Amino acid sequence: MAKSTRKAEIAAVEPAEKPRAEKGKRDKKKDKSRKGKGDAVALAQADEPKIKRDKNREKIEKELPGEGKPIDKKESEKALRRLQVELVKLQEWVKLKGLRVVIIFEGRDAAGKGGAIKRITQTLNPRVCRIVALGTPTEREKTQWYFQRYVAHLPAAGEIVLFDRSWYNRAGVERVMGFCSEEEYREFLRSCPEFERMLIRSGITLIKYWFSVSPEEQERRFIARINDVTKRWKFSPIDLKSRARWHEYSKAKDEMFSYTDTKQSPWYVIDADDKTLAYLNMIHHLLGLIPYEEIVLPEIELPTIQETGYVRPPADYQTFVPKVYG
């Protein structure tokens, strides 16, 4: 009788002890889970890049439009340098955030599009910021959807693409020179705004610049190209014909703007009679269109060269370029 009473007492105690042991295990698991989450948060915070603002950015932001202050060559070079420093910061921000940016450069021949692109890309990584300047479409491309050959060059995450002329060829040179039919032209005007809305809805930042130049300044630049052997390659037979059809191009541009200068994707016009000011104003404006922050880059320490005991062959075993200069 005493034995059975003892067994009953043990049976009554054991169920109460088991939940306690299971609760202890659950508590340990929770502690580990909390610790794991805490470690993950700490790691994420450690990987999060540090952001700062410097005097260069503040100085640029204080330069208000409409002041129109005269600027000499030395000052313009300093201003360009400041802007290019900011472009590098923008590039790093685009990479970090995985942004996709498309910038279109259109305008008259010799208006300064190429020079503006050169100054943007001068200090940037060509793997991040690349130029697209397509030639005449092939016979195969002529049978494709009109926008198809441009779509292939759109940016992936962390890239900036600069279109040196773009799909707007159809509304400009193709329209004026008769390289497209009336039906193709009208279809472009209808579909282009929707095509650009699709790009924007997909997450692409689309910016469009039109470089405007007077006929007198264009003539001066054309003559300079004709007389300079290093610039003659820029001149084409189409340039001569476009010069003669100045007013037809004006009409085509105005009609194009009436369809494609939309609220979602506006045109920004650059007064390009003074190239230097045009470049500065355009880059300054561009930096204001894409919100970005400066990322504090990690310090870099160069390693020492390791000594391996390797003895290189004599220098005269190699063929060196003759020193004509220096």
The candidate with the shortest Cα–Cα distance to 268, out of 287, 252, 249, is 287
Residues 6+ apart with CB under 8 A from 99: 93, 157, 158, 205, 290
Considering the domain boundaries, does residue 17 fall inside one?
no
Q: What is the pLDDT of residue 10?
A: 45
Considering the domain boundaries, does residue 278 fall inside one?
yes
Average pLDDT over residues 156-162: 98
Q: What is the pLDDT of residue 61?
A: 67
Residue type at position 103: I
Considering the domain boundaries, does residue 89 fall inside one?
yes
The CA angle 228-233-235, to the nearest 5 degrees, is 85
Considering the domain boundaries, does residue 16 fall inside one?
no
Q: Which domain holds residue 223?
A: 52-64+72-295
Cα dist. 324→88, 103, 316, 318 in Å? 36, 42, 18, 18
Quote the DSSP letter at residue 48: S
- As a whole number of angstroms, the distance between CA 292 and CA 120 comes to 16
pLDDT tens column, 80-97: 999 999 999 999 999 999
Considering the domain boundaries, does residue 239 fall inside one?
yes
User: Which residue has 């439009």 as its token pair?
Assistant: 65
Q: Is the pLDDT of residue 44 over 90?
A: no
pTM over 0.85: no
Average pLDDT over residues 50-66: 67
Rg (CA), the chain: 32
Q: What is the pLDDT of residue 167?
A: 98
* DSSP string for residues in 134-189: --SPPHHHHTS-TTHHHHTT---TTEEEEEES-GGGTTTHHHHHT-S-HHHHHHHH
Considering the domain boundaries, does residue 311 fall inside one?
no
pLDDT tens column, 263-276: 999 999 999 999 99
Average pLDDT over residues 178-194: 98
Q: Give me the CATH number covering residue 155.
A: 3.40.50.300
> What confidence category does residue 42 fall into, taking pLDDT thresholds of 50, 70 and 90?
very low
Considering the domain boundaries, does residue 287 fall inside one?
yes
Instruction: Quote the number of domains for the chain.
Output: 1
Q: Is 36 helix (H, G, I), strand (E, B) or coil?
A: helix
Considering the domain boundaries, does residue 45 fall inside one?
no
User: Cβ(303)–Cβ(103) under 8 Å?
Assistant: no
